[in-house]
Structure 1
């Protein structure tokens, strides 16, 4: 039985070949993909994997030679557990049947739970740069040195993949300038990418631009939610045999496969880890 498993993995497969709504946020897109899986799941009980039927992901990944495609990923993590980060990366490499990722961005947003509501950096959706947070924000990097220490431990886990050449470039999301400088100074493998969310700050802080330019860090923007899937989301996905109520999401990875010479996106999807309650 699937529900005897302590941990399970859910794969959306390549979502480029399914109908999507225009202008969706990342968390909305993910939930719709999970709903689609629920209607026609493929369940590998022994491996503890739930996938979407009629998926062409591996066909797209293997359509071109590995050196002709670029595979990037972003891991969304709300808990400071390096084992969860390892699970997310190892599971993704196994799913795609590859030996390395071209780049990986870590989005670590520690959760504060107030009145039963999950919050991160003072917002449920969108991302704030630490220097731009409102005064009543529940979380800022500068006021939470413990969270910065947790981030550094997670980064050390990423460095082992860079050492083994399983990840070519490491990136980080949603740090304020001071925390980025702190992480950069303490790391062996320096961040090559800094990703920020402009939904809460319409102008990139000049200090961030200056530091990234000086240290050859690629500065990118995004519009992802901090909590990519709420812990109670599975309660809404209870179509048998796709009943996920006994489980809680632990990590989420989003991956993209581009054809290098043309810059064409050929595959995109999500991979989720979940633990039994």
Structure 2
């Protein structure tokens, strides 16, 4: 690409980013994507950082010359990297997702699920696990803390956009409270083995009695801080865009999805959807 075309693309990307109020990333299929810097990232946070940087950089380099239309919502993705599920293969795969809420905005749940369905060209996700925004420091999760997000998930189950819903990092007492209160019961609960080397016996017994699947994970409590997200965006900007102000951008939610071939138990595709919003002046 010659210098003139590069400058034109950078100018166009800068105008689009300056105007946009919402920024959404689709990383594409990480199983087949070859442009990521780290083939074996050390943590989920590092993997997400690498994905956002690569997606932003690729999107900037393929941005078309600007028109008069500057959308409020900007979708950053590379078309050839998308992993649409065809109607013929839908019955052969399971689509699962984990949704990390960075802000307590219930509309984020619906937005994330609808974007996942649209991105993968499916009408329903087989399972969604929710990771609510962390409670205040030295505080612990409570049922009241979980209820608003769970009610939104229940609405999506009733509208058949999700088949099953699950939780993350609930101890036996809180899982029991949620189970007894919820209209749509949790089908699974993730346990972080970094803080718990062995499944607690009381949690195991309760999950077995009520047919709740216990899963393990290694995600941090906060997948990505506001500061880390802004640094990640800055690193993904090319020469000529380094002066773009990223301090106003706030991470809203992150959805990580897996498409698994049922008969073989292998991951066909994996990716992240990310939404960020520019803070009002």
Instruction: Identify whether the pair has TM-score above 0.5, normalized to the shorter chain.
Output: yes
| 1:264 correspondence with 2:266 | yes
Aligned pairs for 1:44-63 within 5 A? 46=71, 47-52=73-78, 54-58=80-84, 61-62=85-86
Structure 2 residue aligned with 1:252: 254
| 1:177 correspondence with 2:172 | yes
Offset at residue 103 of structure 1 (A): 0.5
Structure 1 residue aligned with 2:212: 217
Offset at residue 80 of structure 1 (A): 2.3
Structure 2 residue aligned with 1:139: 139
TM (normalized to structure 2)? Answer: 0.81
**For 2:226, what is the secondary structure of its paired residue?**
coil
**For 1:102, what is the secondary structure of its paired residue?**
strand
Aligned pairs for 1:1-277 within 5 A? 1-19=16-34, 20-22=38-40, 24-41=42-59, 46=71, 47-52=73-78, 54-58=80-84, 61-62=85-86, 64-112=88-136, 138-141=138-141, 145=142, 148-236=143-231, 237-238=233-234, 239-240=237-238, 245=246, 246-277=248-279
Going from structure 1 to structure 2, the CA distance change for 1:65 and 1:244 (only over 3 Å counts) comes to farther
**For 2:174, what is the secondary structure of its paired residue?**
helix
Measure the CA separation in 2 of the matches of 1:270 and 1:263. Answer: 20
Going from structure 1 to structure 2, the CA distance change for 1:244 and 1:149 (only over 3 Å counts) comes to farther
Q: Larger % of strand: which?
A: 1
Contact 1:73/1:254 (8 A) holds in 2: yes
Going from structure 1 to structure 2, the CA distance change for 1:9 and 1:244 (only over 3 Å counts) comes to farther
- List structure 1 runs of 4+ shifted beyond 6 angstroms: none
Contact 1:14/1:267 (8 A) holds in 2: yes
Superposition CA RMSD, Å: 2.1
Contact 1:80/1:110 (8 A) holds in 2: no
Measure the CA separation in 1 of the matches of 2:150 and 2:22. Answer: 24
TM (normalized to structure 1)? Answer: 0.82
Contact 1:175/1:196 (8 A) holds in 2: yes
**For 2:81, what is the secondary structure of its paired residue?**
coil
Contact 1:258/1:264 (8 A) holds in 2: yes
Measure the CA separation in 2 of the matches of 1:214 and 1:80. Answer: 32
Going from structure 1 to structure 2, the CA distance change for 1:3 and 1:262 (only over 3 Å counts) comes to same
Spell out, residue by residue over 1:83-140, the C-alpha distance to the aligned partner (whole angstroms, 9 max, x if none): 111211111111112100010100114253xxxxxxxxx6xxxxxxxxxxxxxxx232
Structure of larger gyration radius = 2
Structure 2 residue aligned with 1:127: none
Measure the CA separation in 1 of the matches of 2:195 and 2:109. Answer: 27
Unpaired segments ≥5 residues, structure 2: 1-15, 65-69
Going from structure 1 to structure 2, the CA distance change for 1:67 and 1:25 (only over 3 Å counts) comes to same
Contact 1:43/1:51 (8 A) holds in 2: no
